[in-house]
Structure 1
Amino acid sequence: MPQVSHGNTDLHWCNGCDVPLIRGGACPSCGSEPLRIKHTPPGDIRPGFPHDIDEVEHLADRQWGPGAGRALGIHGSPVLLNPCPAPDRLDEVIAGGHVICSVSFSQKELSTMLLLRRDGGARLNGSGFTPEKGYVVCDPTAVPFIMDGMNLLSPGITDCSDGILPGDEVLVIDDDGRVIASGLSRKHSRDMVGTRGMGVKIRWSALPEENSTGNPQEQPEREWKETWDHVVDVNRPHLHSLVKRAVSFIRDAVKRYGPKAAVSYSGGKDSLATLLLTRDAGFELPVMFVDTGIEFPETVEHVRAIAGEMELDLIVGRPRNDFFELVKVFGPPGRDYRWCCKSCKLGPTVSLIREHFPDGVLTFIGQRRYESNTRERKGAVWKNPWVPQQTGASPVQDWTALDVWLYIFLKGARYNPLYERGFQRIGCWLCPSCDLAERELLNLTKVDQEPWSRILEEERKMRDLPEEWIEKGFHRFKKLPPHMVRLAGEMGMERELLDTGRISKGRKGSFMFVDGYGSCADGLSQEGVLNPGMERKRFISLLNIIGPVTNIEGTEGVEVRPEGWSMKRAAVESYSDGTIVIRGSSEDEIKNVRRKLESVIKRTEGCIGCGICVGRCSSDALHIDESGKVMISEEKCIHCGMCLGPCPAESFVRDPYTV
């Protein structure tokens, strides 16, 4: 879901050339002063592809009758789409320098609709179109009231089309069939006329004679590619300036952080632009691609095609474990439970870099500040905290999506075909961060959805959840955000859907602690017990994360004393029968020791061999053994704790019981 705190783009429209201008000032082509486009921020605007244009026309025809789509006048001229902050898809459609409508997806109804805007109404009127459905006729006496911002009451409605339902988007027309407003229906068609109460909640209103700014300009109709070639030509000075700065950035980065450098290529537009820019800078760098196993088949094909065309040195990383096997252990991932990113993407990235760039690598990555708050804060150059050997750099950090696309069009480069099928982002096809609206688009791809559908259905039945848990996208969250809580309430299913916490598949009683603390000679202590079936050799090995491990004289137990430990007794004592004692000079210290110990226990039980922690180790003390799980070499370990980073097992293994 787009955020709004990343600033606003300065986008204009030249009426003389009928093209968007990425920066203000006189049009470089015709010299006329452009119109500033009023859109919802942040304005990470992208081109409308033929699929998008066809969709808008189809929705208009479906809602208002045949010919409505063509009456909007969006064929043969540039169309822009602006993703807006919303629970799911909400794209403003920009044509002729104005927002003419929005494409909105309803999670409740699982349907997409057009929300007409004032300038879209002007286009319908200017074309002479009269709605055949989805309309109400406003009594002339009620027109002044809705022009003053009031809603349309049923006594002010003289007629309406059949089939209107509460919640439908409807057009308000006058006696001459001209659109004067649009809004949300509050009633069925049968109750719209001759009753009391609100009929339509008005979104906007304008008299036809006052609303002519949205009429299409008289321009020659072009094919889609010809249209965008024209946009590129007009914006060429801006693009050359962008490329010049990016090339300088790349050369400076290689000089400062090189000489080993590579490009991270995901198959998406931003990484494609980054790859092209490195070549413009005079470098032919190796390209890294992580095939998570849940990439779109089209993306994998595209990456290999690009590698072949450009004769790239393509380095492919893959996860050690198949996603569909891991999901049986961890459960479905969520936006707030993204274990899959660690095991299927971050882990393979760590392994790939350690194998091919053991001395470190400067990686050019196509990330942009408009994508998220996190990426905005990161800056153009950063050190990856989980991959110490990697320095990341983005030459497109300050580019908008439109900048990226125009540069790709300028270069005439082959891009991922999924963009032409309506996809906004290219990544793992079942990513929980995807909009629910994109689910229907999967049918246009080569993806085999059956295994994922089967897993979700098995999870739903195991947890006795309603079918809406899958249908409405509740499975994408561990803890429901406010908009999903509201949706559950609107559906009358709060009780069934609000308690969707994931069932841990860790063994009950794997470890537990006694509630409260006891006093010892120089501080506090807390006792616990581990499951005797835990793999003790691995557990003792991983205890080195906390500090040096030594044997307790006269027993089969071990103890751990972190660096600088001042107490007489060790911080952790672990015995072969499973009993365990932790100590600290204060409650805060004992909590800190316990937190690290719990992490060690969870990793012992839940390690899947993803290798993330291995990449974090600066002393090369961690390795994956023959069983596919992590072990620590005591001789090499410096007990720095750097490996206590993100670990899938932290999310999977059950927290301790307190008794």
Structure 2
Amino acid sequence: MKNIFWCKQCNSPILTPKCKVCNTNGFRVASDIRPVFPEEKMLLEILLQYPQGYLSKKSVWYTSGNLLLVDGKTQPLNKGALEKLDICKIREELSRKKSSYYLDHGYSFFNNNMQTFLLCNRERISKIEFEAFEIVEKAKRLDKDFVPIVSFSGGKDSTVVSDIVRRAYANPSIIHAFGNTTLELPETLEYISRFKENNSKIPFIESRSKHDFINVCKKIGPPSRVMRWCCTIFKTGPISQTFTGISATQPILTYYGIRRSESSRRSKYNVIEKSPKISQQTVVSPIINWNDVDIWLYIFERNLDFNSSYRLGFSRVGCWACPSNSSWSFFLTRIYHPELAEPWREFLISVAKEMGKPDPVEYVDSGNWKARQGGNGLESSYKGIIASRPCGDDPFATTYKLARPIENSLYEYFKPFGIISFTQGRSILGEVFVLNKNTGEPIMILQGLPGTNDLKVKIVNQNNYTLLSQRVNCQIRKYQSCILCGGCPSICPTKAISLASGEYKINENKCIGCLKCIANFDTGCLVSKVLQTKKGEVK
């Protein structure tokens, strides 16, 4: 963690104990900070019942722990109490007080304050720039065949990374990839449009899921902090397909705005590492050691355009419905974008009612919906893995009662095990053999007639029988639960899996039988994991 100090003489945060401008000793005020823009100052004046303009000529910063820093003095911000205020009245007051005169007047002071902030901390800017350029140079030396791409989310971090990478490569035409999750704030989409217009030389590629977020929520329940299926369906999957379109054979070097200070999970990330989610991708994080204060230093120093959501008080600008967002973030969304927030809140309340929650409104407004696990209370949930029973006296055969009738698409899910042969078995019984790719010997025999729900699986190759039977269970789960989420194609190292024409397909000529599409997900399938009502339960 960093130490942020305050210089009384300059009325500005400094990143060294002594101010580089006036040589005054500072006093510690925080571990990290971000600026409060005039738009957010205006909202705070309403929430805290300050006179209009009270904060306009004060140096205001936000620190961790729900603290405001006003002219170097910390002031607690009781967000929990503020979030209970009448949203409609806040909107009305904001609309009444909003004026270009106020903002112009407020920005005159703010811009001067930021110039002082830059002067006091120029030494820090040089240090973090050097570190970031060193990381990019190291990544460039990895492999000349890598295709460099900037992952551009429209947030402040990816804005900085975009500028650093283009400068380090001395190339204004580095490919930028934007994963439109369909849940972006309007300000993000406006910024993306501005960015493309102002950087016309950049090849800008946008990926977008074909799924509708609310429709998927109706099928498998809203995402939660534990079950963040939305990232795979609306981000990783579409981006992976886009990367395949950019380069089907060459490896990709993707520059991300990941920072260790953002979360305990990200604190363990490496500067350069193989992506665990997209097989052909190596991830580079040039600003991994930066803090918020460093990001804003760089943005102001380079005079970069950025997402105007930050001016409103948003600290992060990913998906507005993300369960990992703070309650304050959703509070701001309700204020500035009721057309997005209110229908989502009503939907969550309806789900809470379906789940039998005694106080659905409290369940939603308290944020407890974010802790939901599995499909408990949902009509689409299922208890356990699958219905199955041993087949007669054969200990290596199992009969499954499927929720989905047998179709030809069932056999696609068995292609990772080997070659599918429809000719060796008895067609009158619906027998299909799965053969070893190297020897042609049977690995397992599937038996089930099209249109029926009874499937018998006999494992012929009894080496590692337990592990193989578990993987069969995984693929049957996947067959019953698959909504073409995109998770399997993302993880496949040979790009053998496709979702063309609305069907799950595996190219046997490309599949190497690594089984990563099975082992990558708990229970073998992202959706089946989400819908399980009790972990590890087997029917």
Shorter-chain TM-score: which interval?
0.7 to 0.9
1:197-276 aligned at under 5 Å gives the runs 223-258=109-144, 259-276=146-163
Q: Give the secondary-structure state (helix, strand or coil) at the position aligned to 1:514.
A: strand
Deviation at 1:450, TM superposition (A): 5.1
Cα gap change, 1:366 to 1:532, in 2 (>3 Å): closer
Deviation at 1:343, TM superposition (A): 0.4
Cα gap change, 1:445 to 1:225, in 2 (>3 Å): farther
Match of 2:268 in 1: 377
Match of 1:157 in 2: none
1:274-423 aligned at under 5 Å gives the runs 274-281=161-168, 282-284=170-172, 285-311=174-200, 312-358=202-248, 359-423=250-314
2:22 aligned with 1:30: yes
Q: Distance in 2 between the 1:458 and 1:25 partners?
A: 53
Give the conservation status (yes or no) of the 8 Å contact 2:178–2:206: yes
For residue 464 of structure 1, the aligned residue among 356, 363, 366 is 356
Give the conservation status (yes or no) of the 8 Å contact 1:557–1:574: yes
AA at the equivalent of 1:378: Y
Aligned residues: 498
Give the conservation status (yes or no) of the 8 Å contact 1:296–1:429: yes
Match of 2:411 in 1: 540
Give the conservation status (yes or no) of the 8 Å contact 1:366–1:396: yes
Q: Distance in 2 between the 1:469 and 1:252 partners?
A: 49
Deviation at 1:106, TM superposition (A): 2.3
Give the conservation status (yes or no) of the 8 Å contact 2:385–2:538: no
Match of 1:432 in 2: 323
Give the conservation status (yes or no) of the 8 Å contact 2:384–2:538: no
Give the conservation status (yes or no) of the 8 Å contact 2:179–2:239: yes
Q: Give the secondary-structure state (helix, strand or coil) at the position aligned to 2:150.
A: strand
Q: Distance in 1 between the 2:135 and 2:6 partners?
A: 29
1:511-530 aligned at under 5 Å gives the runs 511-514=386-389, 524-525=395-396, 527-530=398-401
Match of 2:10 in 1: 17
AA at the equivalent of 2:206: V
Cα gap change, 1:82 to 1:97, in 2 (>3 Å): same
Give the conservation status (yes or no) of the 8 Å contact 2:261–2:267: yes
AA at the equivalent of 1:459: V
Q: Distance in 2 between the 1:237 and 1:610 partners?
A: 47
Cα gap change, 1:95 to 1:461, in 2 (>3 Å): closer
Q: Report the RMSD for the aligned CA atoms in angstroms.
A: 3.4
Match of 2:494 in 1: 619
Give the conservation status (yes or no) of the 8 Å contact 1:44–1:370: no
Q: Give the secondary-structure state (helix, strand or coil) at the position aligned to 1:283.
A: coil
Deviation at 1:510, TM superposition (A): 9.1
Q: Distance in 2 between the 1:256 and 1:427 partners?
A: 30
Deviation at 1:610, TM superposition (A): 3.5
AA at the equivalent of 1:278: V
Deviation at 1:569, TM superposition (A): 8.4
For residue 49 of structure 1, the aligned residue among 24, 27, 37 is 37
1:630-641 aligned at under 5 Å gives the runs 630-641=504-515
Q: Distance in 1 between the 2:278 and 2:379 partners?
A: 28
Cα gap change, 1:427 to 1:569, in 2 (>3 Å): same
Match of 1:128 in 2: none
Deviation at 1:597, TM superposition (A): 2.0
Q: Distance in 2 between the 1:461 and 1:337 partners?
A: 20
AA at the equivalent of 1:111: K
Deviation track 1:407-437 (CA, whole Å, cap 9, x = no partner) reads 1011111111111111111011111111122
Q: Distance in 1 between the 2:403 and 2:372 partners?
A: 31
Structure 1 or 2: larger helix share?
A: 2
Which contiguous aligned blocks of 4+ residues in structure 1 show a shift greater than 6 angstroms? 507-510, 561-565
**Unmatched tracts of structure 2, length 5 or more:** 86-106
Match of 1:79 in 2: 60
Match of 1:207 in 2: none
AA at the equivalent of 2:84: S
Match of 2:88 in 1: none
Q: Distance in 2 between the 1:446 and 1:391 partners?
A: 39
Q: Distance in 1 between the 2:386 and 2:37 partners?
A: 55
Cα gap change, 1:352 to 1:444, in 2 (>3 Å): same
AA at the equivalent of 1:505: S
Q: Which piece of structure 1 moves more, 533-542 or 264-273? A: 533-542
Q: Distance in 1 between the 2:72 and 2:124 partners?
A: 19
AA at the equivalent of 1:340: C
Deviation at 1:239, TM superposition (A): 0.4
Match of 1:93 in 2: 68
Deviation at 1:317, TM superposition (A): 0.4
Cα gap change, 1:13 to 1:633, in 2 (>3 Å): same
Give the conservation status (yes or no) of the 8 Å contact 2:388–2:401: no
AA at the equivalent of 1:260: V
Q: Give the secondary-structure state (helix, strand or coil) at the position aligned to 1:106.
A: helix
Q: Distance in 2 between the 1:510 and 1:394 partners?
A: 39
> Radius of gyration: which is bigger?
1
AA at the equivalent of 1:49: F
Q: Which piece of structure 1 moves more, 273-282 or 287-296? A: 273-282
Give the conservation status (yes or no) of the 8 Å contact 2:494–2:511: yes
AA at the equivalent of 2:121: N
Give the conservation status (yes or no) of the 8 Å contact 2:444–2:461: no
AA at the equivalent of 2:368: F
Q: Larger relative contact order (C-alpha < 8 A, sep ≥ 6)? A: 2
Q: Give the secondary-structure state (helix, strand or coil) at the position aligned to 1:243.
A: helix
Deviation track 1:380-423 (CA, whole Å, cap 9, x = no partner) reads 11111221111111111000001001110111111111111111
Deviation track 1:156-210 (CA, whole Å, cap 9, x = no partner) reads xxxxxxxxxxxxxxxxxxxxxxxxxxxxxxxxxxxxxxxxxxxxxxxxxxxxxxx
1:591-602 aligned at under 5 Å gives the runs 591-602=466-477
